[in-house]
Structures are given as C-alpha cells and as structure tokens.
Amino acid sequence: MKGHFVFLGLTSPERKALQKPLMRVARHAEADEVLDVADRCWAEDAREFQYVGSELLRARAKTFDAVGAAPSAIAYNEVYNAIQTGVIGGFENEAASIQNLKFYEVAPFVTLTQHTITVRPIVMSAKVFDGLPADLQAAIMEAGAEAGTFGRALESGQDGEILQEMVDAKQIRVQPNRGTKTTTGFHDLDRLSSCFLIQFERLAGVVS
C-alpha cells in the first residue's frame, strides 16, 4: 500500500496494540457489522486504516476456519435456495428470520453457539443533531441509551420465545452448545470501533 495512501507514521506494533480489542470483538460480531467497520476504515486516507480494514476481515474468517467451515457471501434472498440445493451447508441468523423466512423448511437443525452479538445502532443526521440546542441533544442521547437497553432486552427475550414456538411446532430441533460461554459483556462493536478510530488519530497527531 506504500505510495497509494497517506502514512500517519504509526509503527506496526503501535497499530496492532490499538486494534487488538477491535479484532477480538470482530471475531464474535455479525458479518455485516464487521464489513461496516472495515468500510469505515477503508474510507480513510491513511494506509494504517487500510491495513486494519483488511485484518478485520481476516480475524472474522478465522472464527469459521477454527471449526472447519468455509465462509461464503450469499445474497440474503438466495439463502433459502442455496441451502436447499446444497450450495451452502448452513447459515447464522436470529430466530425471527428463521421463522419469518421459513428457513426451518430447509435447515431444521439449530445449534445455539452464542458466538456472535447483534448491534442495532440508533442513528440520526449529524447535521440535524449539531443544529439542535444543547438540552435537546442531551435529551436525545439519554433517550437513545434508554431505547437501546430496552431494545436489546426485548430482542433477546423474543429470540428465545420464537425458538420455543418453532420447537413446539416441530419445525426445528435445537442443540445447545454446552461449551460456549455467554455473550453477555461483549463490547458494542460500533462504539468500540469509534473509540479505536479516535485513539488511532490521536496517536498519529491528527486530532487533539
């Protein structure tokens, strides 16, 4: 990448020390979330960010390599047919999608690996937010934090209920992974990546 991107001056050990927490979380996050963070890195001008974006994807792939799987990118509306025809042997998804899209018809065996978390960011226009008075900005931040906590609890509870509905309807057979640790305590990938980008730039002297 030399000669193609701006060089911030970070050594490889400095960069890897900063990105280590990000890489650790990336191994357990949803694939689209990792791609989103990688895209954010690739949108930066500095080559250090380009390295991080590429290494994020490699870190994600190692999770599947460890269990002998070969990750494949399939358009979401083609997953059903891909499983049915044997193009792919399985997929990762939440219970609601398995039920709503009837994936159980072609993939009735479910393993609860707890290897990933789902981030549901609440976003709004920075231009609109910056144009609001301080008291409204504070109210939005408070409401966002409250809504995020409520949403995570709601989705987590619904996931178990939907799984049980499909079990009772004999649509799926669930195999829990007894050796898997709970995902509780994982950092929010989006928040962590934002902190990482800021730390990265501060170390390089780009921002104060």
Residue range 43-56, pLDDT digits in tens:
777 777 778 777 77
The overall average pLDDT reported for the chain is 75
**Is residue 142 scored above 60 in pLDDT?**
yes
pLDDT for 83-138, tens place per residue? Answer: 999 998 888 888 888 999 999 999 999 988 666 656 667 888 888 999 999 999 99
Residue type for 89, please?
G
Q: Between residues 122 and 169, which one has the greater pLDDT?
A: 169
CB 102 within 8 A of CB 171: no
pLDDT at 206: 40
Residue type for 140, please?
I
CA–CA distances in Å: residue 180 to residues 114, 138, 156, 183: 7, 39, 17, 9
Phi, psi torsion values for 207, nearest 5 degrees: -130, 160
Return the structure tokens found at 13.
Answer: 């050990």
Average pLDDT over residues 156-160: 82
pLDDT at 83: 92
